[in-house]
Amino acid sequence: MTRINTNISSLIAQQRLNRSGIDLQTRLERLSTGLRINRGKDDPAGLIISARLGTDISSITQAIKNGERASAVIATTEGNLTEITDLLNSIKALAVEAANTGAISDEERAANQLQINSAIASITRISNTASFGGLKLLNGSLDYVTSGIDSADISQAKITAASFISSSSINVDVDVLSSAQKGNLYLSGDNSGVGGADGTILSSTTIQIRGPEGVRELVLQSGQAFSAVVAAVNGLTAVTGVEASLINGTAASGMAFSSAEYGSNAFVAVKRIDIPDPISDGNFSLVKLDGNEAIATNGVPWASSSLVAADQDNGANVSALINGILATGDGLNISINSPTLGMELLLNETFAIDPTIAASTFDITGGGALFQLGPDITALQQTNIGVQSTSAENLGGVLVGGNLEFLSSLTTGNVNSLDSAKGRSDFSVLSKIVDKAIDDVSILRGRLGAFERNVLDTNRRSLQSAFENLTASRSVIQDADFAAESSALTRAQILQSAGISVLSLANQQSQQVLQLLG
């Protein structure tokens, strides 16, 4: 049938032409933007996952930048610590030179002291001025803040790491399990059964005293009082590492030979060298406590049932729990390094040798350097590290007579200056302080280096891998395939041209009706 009111062929041609036009527009848009998804209707599900991947990629990109910035901070900090190490080495050399008192004049020693003063001032200046973009690095502002530390229990605390997960503070509980000990050998002062006066040497004796610092010999005379022996042994402590004391303060109770320090590396060895078998010598019979037993609180070992003959005894490290974690002991020092808490504590002697004392507690209330290393702001993707102050007042803390003495005590007029050390003919304390300061800085550099290598570098590589994989996944979902789109464009162009031709023919067919009217 032939109709003119409704041109069905034209309508069909128009519909197909519109479709090919939309398809052509879509292909042109994708080729011009390079994206397969330009609006939600292109692929609703794909748009959602693509947007989420875009958020992840953006967060990871910033996390990578955070890690690179943290590495720059660590590198800057370590550069300043390197300068401090060089200054400490120069102080050490000057102290060693000044100890050569037989070949150095007072004027030269005074010049060395001026150099030490200058070096110590420079160390404090570097500590106070080292910064990165306005962030102070070594003045203690990146250290942790503590409160409630009982100095009767803990002499010094260094917090190296703390994670404040859903909490504004961390409570620390320190409980001593077994005591720190010195190496101890005991000589009884009760001579009533062998015909001698109590608290005296029974016969002339030559003894060898050996400790961590070295070996010396002493000749003891028959009838010599224990108090005189104690004085003679203590006069050699600097070169042997061994000290002596009267048990319970009285010669009749006996005499104790002890290592000057606590810990498994400390020991005392005292033996008679003028007879073949010193242990069985009835005139100079030394004993020690068997096993890890500690001396009674009244200082008298004779009440113990576990005394054995010996000529050497080693000390023991303190054993303690920190928040339920068994800490590593080293003399009076304990340390832990868990994923959430790291610290080094120097325990007070009284606290460390008596496990019956109640646990000591304190709080970490904040501070530290917090680094955001992951794409999500959660405690699991953050890490904390403490950077203590490296000023002269905080480096080289060494226990001397129960007091901590620092690098600042080496300056003119202080207790460990070169003149003071020469006056007492003992440069050993000064040397120990400098050595401890060098160790403090070296350990801090090591911690920062380990943090950069094992945390920052590995985190950056992991994030870069995630960035590559997520970007590739997003590209598969969102990016246009130019080969496929070019083929589709050609098809759409052909259909568009054909549609226009067909529509023209459909319109011409209606006009042919006029031929029927003659």
- pLDDT tens digits for range 112-121: 999 999 999 9
What mean pLDDT do residues 155-179 have?
A: 89
Of the listed ranges 30-34, 66-70, 130-134, 385-389, the one predicted with least confidence: 30-34
Q: pLDDT at residue 102 above 90?
A: no
pLDDT of residue 518: 57
pLDDT of residue 384: 86
pLDDT of residue 12: 78
239 inside domain? yes
Structure tokens at 74: 């660590």
Measured between alpha carbons, how far is 231 from 234 in angstroms, rounded to an integer? 5
- The angle at the Cα of 439, spanning 433 to 441, to the nearest 5 degrees, equals 105
Q: Give the residue, 51 or 444, on which the prediction is more confident.
A: 444
Residue 427 φ/ψ, nearest 5 degrees: -95, 5
224 inside domain? yes
516 inside domain? no
Q: pLDDT at residue 392 above 60?
A: yes
In 203-335, alpha helices (H): 226-234, 237-240
Q: pLDDT at residue 298 above 60?
A: no
- pLDDT tens digits for range 486-501: 887 788 788 788 877 8
Q: pLDDT at residue 439 above 80?
A: yes
Give the structural domain span for 256: 184-314
7 inside domain? no
What mean pLDDT do residues 346-351 have?
A: 92
What mean pLDDT do residues 124-151 have?
A: 92
The 10 Å Cβ neighbour count of residue 342 is: 20
Q: Look at the chain and report how many structural domains it folds into.
A: 1
Of the listed ranges 14-23, 59-68, 224-233, the one predicted with least confidence: 14-23
482 inside domain? no
- Residue pair 215/241 in contact (Cβ under 8 Å)? The answer is no
Q: pLDDT at residue 513 above 70?
A: no
pLDDT of residue 305: 64
Total-model pTM: 0.80
Q: What residues pair up with 273 in beta bridges, in sequence order?
A: none
Short-list 460, 387, 442, 392, CA closest to 73: 387
Short-list 176, 177, 221, CA closest to 202: 221
* Proportion of the chain above pLDDT 90, given as a percent: 46
CA distances from 335 to 92, 311, 325 (A): 27, 32, 10
What mean pLDDT do residues 226-233 have?
A: 93
275 inside domain? yes
Which residues, including other chains, have CB under 8 Å from residue 395's CB and lie 6 or more apart?
Answer: 88, 123, 406, 407, 436, 437, 440, 441
Q: Give the residue, 447 or 518, on which the prediction is more confident.
A: 447
Report long-range pairs for 428-432 (Cβ below 8 Å, ≥24 apart): 428/238, 429/398, 429/400, 429/405, 430/95, 431/92, 431/95, 431/96, 431/99, 432/398
What mean pLDDT do residues 168-177 have?
A: 92
Q: pLDDT at residue 6 above 70?
A: no
Structure tokens at 490: 């050609």
What mean pLDDT do residues 73-77 have?
A: 94
Q: pLDDT at residue 123 above 80?
A: yes
359 inside domain? no
Measured between alpha carbons, how far is 258 from 246 in angstroms, rounded to an integer? 11
pLDDT of residue 357: 92
What mean pLDDT do residues 451-464 have?
A: 92
Q: Using the CB atoms, write b or e for 43-55: b if 16+ within 10 Å.
A: beebbeebeebee
- Residue pair 235/255 in contact (Cβ under 8 Å)? The answer is no
CA distances from 117 to 93, 104, 111, 431 (A): 14, 19, 10, 15
- pLDDT tens digits for range 465-474: 999 999 888 8
CA distances from 386 to 76, 144, 221, 363 (A): 16, 6, 57, 15
Q: pLDDT at residue 462 above 80?
A: yes
DSSP per-residue letters across 247-273: GGG-GGG-EEEEESS-STT-EEEEEES
DSSP per-residue letters across 432-498: HHHHHHHHHHHHHHHHHHHHIIIIIIHHHHHHHHHHHHHHHHHHHHHB--HHHHHHHHHHHHHHHHH
309 inside domain? yes
Q: Is the Cα dihedral 470, 471, 473, 477 positive or negative?
A: positive
Measured between alpha carbons, how far is 174 from 130 in angstroms, rounded to an integer? 34
Q: pLDDT at residue 347 above 90?
A: yes
Number of H helices, E strands in the chain: 10, 24
